[in-house]
Amino acid sequence: MKWNRKSFGVKLWLYFAVFTAIIFGALWLLQTVFLQNFYNGMVMQNVQKVAEQVDQQRDSADLENTIDSLTYDNSLLIFLTDEQGNVFYSSDEHSYSYQENKTYYTADSEDDGNPYRSTDELLNWQIGAFRNLPQGYDFFLQSLSGSDDGTVGYPLESGDTYIYGMVLPASGADSNLLGGKEAVLYISTPLNTVNATVGILRILLIWVTLASLVVGLVIAFFIARRFGRPVSVISIQAKHMAGGNFEGTFEKGFCSELDELSDTLGQTAAELARAENFRRELLANVSHDLRTPLTMIRGYAEMVRDVSWDDAEKRDTDLAIIIREADRLTGLVNEILTYSELQSEHQPPEFEDVDIASTVQYIIGQFDPLCKQDGYHIEVLHAPCPKVKGDRKQLERVLYNLIDNAIHHTGNNGKIQVILKDLDVAVRIEVRDYGNGIPKDEFPYIWERYFTSKKRNGKGTGLGLAIVKEILVTHKAVFGVESDPDEGSMFWFELRK
């Protein structure tokens, strides 16, 4: 894959690399920046749930084991005291290790079996406590007493410990260590334990990020190369098509979108090949049609100059031929110019009410000299027809081209029919000849420019029916053709009233 930053493969690789960097950047932020806040929030919620569990079990005879289990599972320090700070019970995550030695406060207890201190060490509050009350316990009691809902929660100023308290109301039951008395629940838990985890994660993420980026960029390179190859192949084939080589097929099979693009380019190549063939035929036809009258004009002009200048009758005949061929040449040029003007849309149609029956008679009158000379017969069949909406000059051109086409392709009887029908909302005009007909496989192409039917001995530029199509489309008219082999063809169109 060549390094071209605007190429499809390179852009795909860069986007994949940026996407990978964004993902790992977001992961880095979540793990190292937001993890502490997320952890603190989860710890606080967990402490509150533990307090609710203790409150629910305050009358249980198994309250001590419940508290020991909660402290062990959640790494907590729990004290149960009265409002003056006298300890009913205390527990931490290590309570199970000295289960047999621990004692708790009772009114007649003199045993101080506390493994946390020597025998001559005085407790902060009283003998018999499981462990010393934490510092700031008096502030905790004050905060709790000033609480409206009997709960309090706050982190210490150092930010490394979270304190939560709850008043356990008296219940009257004396089946456990509380003896049904009102008690104060104190819970504390560290908040800085996640710092070590964050440090480990930071180091781990550095290596994981570097390794993942390397692996991701390598994978992205091969993915971009795999995606870029069919695009490059199609691009090369499209360049060949631009150079005039319309043969060959476009690569398919990679993905449906590229398959659709290949199909579209294949259809485009086929259309361009056909247009190129039409262009060549047009050049051949136009060259022939231009050369023939020009040759005759030159020949008869020389004849007038050299032979018939003094013979008035012969001279007039030769000059008439020159004029006829000049008119033929002018008609050919005008046909090309007319189609060019319709394509450029510089002259939009000027709609008016058109008497289509009179227009048909006017156009047929233009063919009278040809009909008398070559024996053609144009028959008009119509009932009274209303006027239609359209551009008079353009509709005259449509009728002229259709009748001229019928004359060129009618049978030996030289018969052409023009039929007008009054429909509900439109007037239908049909132009029928009795020639060889049009093959079914040529129906899609007869309205296209430069097309001339070889099976109908087509001559000319191939623009006559293309001009008809352009005009009828601008008039939003419905049009078509019907044809059977050896029975002739019928071209029709419908104009709104």
450 and 353, same domain (yes or no): yes
pLDDT digits (tens, 9 = 90+) for 400-429: 889 988 888 887 788 999 999 998 889 999
Q: Is residue 247 part of a domain?
A: no
435 C-beta neighbours (distance < 10 Å), count: 23
pLDDT at residue 494, rounded to an integer:
94
Nearest CA to 135 out of 105, 156, 154, 119 is that of 156
Beta bridge partners of 494: 428, 478
pLDDT at residue 272, rounded to an integer:
77
Distance, in Å, from the CA atom of 406 to the CA atom of 429, rounded to the nearest integer, reads 14
Total domains present in the chain? 4
174 and 47, same domain (yes or no): yes
Which residue, 342, 376, 401, sits at the end of a domain? 342
What CATH number is given to the structural domain containing 328? Answer: 1.10.287.130
Q: Is residue 335 part of a domain?
A: yes
CA distance readout (Å), 429 to 326, 420, 480, 481: 32, 5, 11, 12
323 and 444, same domain (yes or no): no
**Residue 237 φ/ψ, nearest 5 degrees:** -65, -35
43 and 182, same domain (yes or no): yes
Q: Count CA within 13 A, CB hemisphere, residue 345.
A: 3
Is the dihedral angle over the CA atoms 294, 297, 298, 299 positive or is it negative? positive
Q: Is residue 2 part of a domain?
A: no
CA distance readout (Å), 17 to 222, 225, 248: 12, 14, 36
> Can you tell me which residue has the tokens 């009233």?
497
pLDDT at residue 112, rounded to an integer:
45
Q: Is residue 491 part of a domain?
A: yes
For 148-244, where are the alpha helices, taking DSSP H only?
A: 193-242
185 and 56, same domain (yes or no): yes
pLDDT digits (tens, 9 = 90+) for 379-405: 998 878 889 999 998 899 899 889 988
What CATH number is given to the structural domain containing 442? Answer: 3.30.565.10
62 and 182, same domain (yes or no): yes
pLDDT at residue 477, rounded to an integer:
92
Q: Is residue 248 part of a domain?
A: no
Q: Is residue 412 part of a domain?
A: yes
Q: Is residue 484 part of a domain?
A: yes
**Residue 369 φ/ψ, nearest 5 degrees:** -60, -40
The residue ranges of the chain whose pLDDT is under 50 are 1, 100-129, 454-456, 458
326 and 310, same domain (yes or no): yes
361 and 489, same domain (yes or no): yes
pLDDT at residue 237, rounded to an integer:
73
119 and 137, same domain (yes or no): yes
309 and 377, same domain (yes or no): no
What CATH number is given to the structural domain containing 71? Answer: 3.30.450
374 and 294, same domain (yes or no): no
263 and 129, same domain (yes or no): no
Q: Is residue 1 part of a domain?
A: no
Domain that holds residue 413: 348-496
